[in-house]
Structure 1
Amino acid sequence: MRKIGMLMLVGIMIVMGMWMSVAQAAPVKVAMVVAGTLGDRSFYDSGNEGLMQAAKELGVETKVFECRSVPSAFSEQIIAAAQSYEVVFTIGWELVDPLLEVAPEFPDVKFIHIDAAIEGVANVSSLDYLENEGSFVAGAMAAMMTTKTEDTKINNQKIIGAVGGMDIPVIRNFVAGYEAGAKYIDPDIKVEVGYVGNFEDPAKGKEMALTIFNKGADIIFQIAGNTGNGVIEAAKESGFYAIGVDSDQGYIAPGFIMGSMMKRVGLSIFETIQKILDGSYKDGTVMSYGIAQNGVGMSKDEDMKKIVGDEVMKKLEEIERGIVEGTIPVPARS
């Protein structure tokens, strides 16, 4: 009997050991909730790239929850994600209030919000981007390039423009940097800015871009998510330059995208997941990504280098160094 009992005990221990091994091997489950939809070729897609990279390289299990810009879905999708996933990223200014309402109901879930600094909630951290720094460089580039009238897309007026999706703090931060960077190069340059009121309407983006183009702007910075695809379409049809945003958008309209001010959402998501896995992640913190952290900056791809030339590229690199070193101050939104 004693022998049988020992064998049973050994069997139980083996089964428990196998169960624990399986439990330990279970991948961390990471969700991303976006206020709109994937396919914007910009902000949301950049985040998804980071999520897919983490799934491939870090072995996490992932899923994207899309709210499709429907307000009633904001809280619903955050709750749905939190019910099944250990880590939940939320992307979009629209999700701040719903997140703050939902997070206390799931104290064991790590929530990380993208694009706003949230403090004071134990299980909510945030990734905050210094888009004003990257946009300062974009503005400086536009100011230098708008005088190069040998380029057939450039007119003889010192006017550049920007199209914002909505007049909200994060977009105003882009605009503040863009205007400051332009005036750092030329205090007399004129910057025409228009806000569409929507991040999901390319037709209105195109209309706004054409309005600004007709005021004399030959370079227009799109800061409008999916709406910005309309700005790029207008650039192709009317023969001016667009500056892309969030992702490297040069492939969308080669020869018409001067460069892209990249907000590396994917990189920051990937790095945050790495920290969670290696134990260095801290709950309830704000993690900032500027030029120094490679979180924002110009695309610097071959198309951009070809369009702007070596002299402008060197000047942009000089400006970036000045921003990192603190010798070139960059204003934030007022």
Structure 2
Amino acid sequence: MMKRMMSILLMLMLVFSLTACSGGSEPAASTNEGGSDAPAKTRVAIVFSGNLGDKSYNDSCYAGALKAQEEFDIELKTLEGTEAAEWEANFLAVAEEGYDLIICSSSNFEEYMKEHCANYPDTKFAVIDTTVEGDNIVSVSFAQNQGSFLAGAAAALFTKMSDIEGVNDENIIGWVGGMDIPVLHDFYTGYEQGAKYVDPDITILQSFAGTWNDPLKGKELTLAQYQQGADVVMNVASGTGTGILEAATEAGKYAIGVDLNQDGDQPGHVLTSMLKRVDSACYLLIQSVVEGTFEGGSKQYLTIADNGVSLTDMSVMKEALGDQFPDEILTKIQELQDKIVSGEIVVENYEGFGPNN
């Protein structure tokens, strides 16, 4: 008990020292003005392993929370952090504050949840993008391998269109991730399968930036892949990914966005985006607490068939290319999607991922 208390005190001291850079919003008062007997609002906290404003994963999660706040009138607090020490400190801070629901936005919180959630049995916890066992935990993960399969196939089809400006006659594509963690390997596993389904001999370049928050690093890695012959590079890097998309415009090449629809971020240079409905996951988790349907110890796995992942309709690229846009890509992607849903194509997972994990 003493060890646990010392750990909590140390973490709270750290989070107070980091308040200025956390970006967190203070919770509204939980009681109503005038001493009303109306029930207190449901209190929800979200801890992020990165910053808002990434136009990707974190912003998608936050969008779902804002929708829930508007519809259910919840009290919402967010805490951002870019380093492991901040993540644990923020997690412990909101756990000690007694929120009704604490949402851990990514797999970066997995070890802290395993260590601490059982110490707060009256608090409901949720984690997105991984599975953590616990009677007061709900886990939501995605078949990002299926979505990435479609993205890889699209990249492999597009790199053959050498009549389009910026596309060479080499069959080389790229992929740049943020942190080197298992969930990103699940992304890459699907991307590689999709590309090789189209062209077994295609070359795929892979790089990890080692961070979610360094656009310059993302740009550097992407430009290097373009110099090695890649025409299309997929972004799976949250805030680092803005640099990946910028590199596409700078080099006169192409990229694939991730999580949110990033097609319009660099118009004419983002072929498509792999949508990952983190917003829906966050919204549904909050709704379950508000409506009393939260089931601790459960897990959800959202696939293409569940509308958990998909590609955009490429309308921005179609407008940019005009008559040069290869409509056969859309036809082929729809065909592949239907085959995944029917089970004719089974996309493999990275070890430890999938509906049974």
Superposed pair shares fold, TM > 0.5: yes
User: Secondary structure of 1:155's partner?
Assistant: coil
1:189 Cα shift? 1.1
User: Residue 173 of structure 2 contacts residue 204 of structure 2 at CA under 8 Å; is this kept in 1?
Assistant: yes
Provide the C-alpha distance between the structure 2 equivalents of 1:268 and 1:32, rounded to a whole number of angstroms: 13
User: Secondary structure of 2:38's partner?
Assistant: helix
Specify the alignment match of 2:270 in structure 1: 257
1:265 Cα shift? 0.4
Q: Deviations over 1:285-319 (max 9, x none)?
A: 11111111111111225214445543211211111
1:109 Cα shift? 1.0
Provide the C-alpha distance between the structure 1 equivalents of 2:226 and 2:251, rounded to a whole number of angstroms: 9
User: Secondary structure of 1:243's partner?
Assistant: strand
Matches within 5 A, 1:158-237: 158-237=171-250
Provide the C-alpha distance between the structure 2 equivalents of 1:325 and 1:279, rounded to a whole number of angstroms: 34
Letter in 1 for 2:340: I
Task: Please say if 1:327 is aligned against 2:339.
Answer: no
Q: Give the alignment partner of residue 281 of structure 2, picking from 239, 259, 268.
A: 268
Provide the C-alpha distance between the structure 2 equivalents of 1:144 and 1:286, rounded to a whole number of angstroms: 35
1:236 Cα shift? 0.8
Provide the C-alpha distance between the structure 2 equivalents of 1:87 and 1:289, rounded to a whole number of angstroms: 21
Specify the alignment match of 1:9 in structure 2: none
Specify the alignment match of 1:49 in structure 2: 63
Provide the C-alpha distance between the structure 2 equivalents of 1:277 and 1:300, rounded to a whole number of angstroms: 34
TM-score by length of 2: 0.84
RMSD: 1.7
User: Residue 200 of structure 1 contacts residue 227 of structure 1 at CA under 8 Å; is this kept in 2?
Assistant: yes
Specify the alignment match of 1:134 in structure 2: 147
How many residues end up aligned between the 2 structures?
313
Letter in 2 for 1:257: V
Provide the C-alpha distance between the structure 2 equivalents of 1:257 and 1:296, rounded to a whole number of angstroms: 18
Q: Deviations over 1:183-228 (max 9, x none)?
A: 1111111111111222211111111111111110000001111111
- The 1:19–1:74 alpha-carbon spacing in structure 2 relative to 1, beyond 3 Å, is same
Task: Please say if 1:40 is aligned against 2:54.
Answer: yes
User: Residue 75 of structure 1 contacts residue 102 of structure 1 at CA under 8 Å; is this kept in 2?
Assistant: no
Task: Please say if 1:97 is aligned against 2:111.
Answer: yes
Q: Give the alignment partner of residue 22 of structure 1, picking from 38, 54, 75.
A: 38
- The 1:84–1:304 alpha-carbon spacing in structure 2 relative to 1, beyond 3 Å, is farther
Specify the alignment match of 1:280 in structure 2: 293
User: Residue 78 of structure 1 contacts residue 102 of structure 1 at CA under 8 Å; is this kept in 2?
Assistant: no
Letter in 2 for 1:58: F
Letter in 2 for 1:156: D
Q: Which moved more, 1:257-266 or 1:298-307?
A: 298-307
- The 1:71–1:168 alpha-carbon spacing in structure 2 relative to 1, beyond 3 Å, is closer
- The 1:280–1:301 alpha-carbon spacing in structure 2 relative to 1, beyond 3 Å, is farther
1:278 Cα shift? 2.9
User: Residue 261 of structure 1 contacts residue 298 of structure 1 at CA under 8 Å; is this kept in 2?
Assistant: yes
User: Residue 165 of structure 1 contacts residue 199 of structure 1 at CA under 8 Å; is this kept in 2?
Assistant: yes
Structure 1 unmatched ranges of 5 or more: 1-17
User: Secondary structure of 1:126's partner?
Assistant: strand
Q: Deviations over 1:253-277 (max 9, x none)?
A: 1111111111110111112222333
User: Residue 159 of structure 2 contacts residue 173 of structure 2 at CA under 8 Å; is this kept in 1?
Assistant: yes
Provide the C-alpha distance between the structure 2 equivalents of 1:312 and 1:77, rounded to a whole number of angstroms: 44
Specify the alignment match of 2:329 in structure 1: 312
1:139 Cα shift? 0.5
1:137 Cα shift? 0.3
Letter in 2 for 1:122: D
Q: Deviations over 1:148-205 (max 9, x none)?
A: 1121021111111101112221111111100100111111111111112222111111
TM-score by length of 1: 0.89
Task: Please say if 1:239 is aligned against 2:252.
Answer: yes
User: Residue 128 of structure 1 contacts residue 287 of structure 1 at CA under 8 Å; is this kept in 2?
Assistant: yes
- The 1:319–1:21 alpha-carbon spacing in structure 2 relative to 1, beyond 3 Å, is farther
1:22 Cα shift? 1.0
Letter in 2 for 1:211: A
Provide the C-alpha distance between the structure 1 equivalents of 2:98 and 2:289, rounded to a whole number of angstroms: 17
User: Residue 340 of structure 2 contacts residue 347 of structure 2 at CA under 8 Å; is this kept in 1?
Assistant: yes
Provide the C-alpha distance between the structure 2 equivalents of 1:284 and 1:301, rounded to a whole number of angstroms: 39
User: Residue 167 of structure 2 contacts residue 253 of structure 2 at CA under 8 Å; is this kept in 1?
Assistant: yes
1:94 Cα shift? 2.1
Specify the alignment match of 2:3 in structure 1: none
Provide the C-alpha distance between the structure 2 equivalents of 1:238 and 1:318, rounded to a whole number of angstroms: 31
- The 1:304–1:332 alpha-carbon spacing in structure 2 relative to 1, beyond 3 Å, is farther
Provide the C-alpha distance between the structure 1 equivalents of 2:76 and 2:186, rounded to a whole number of angstroms: 31
- The 1:301–1:108 alpha-carbon spacing in structure 2 relative to 1, beyond 3 Å, is farther
1:75 Cα shift? 2.3
Q: Deviations over 1:78-134 (max 9, x none)?
A: 122221420110013221111222212211111001111112x11111111110000
1:240 Cα shift? 0.5
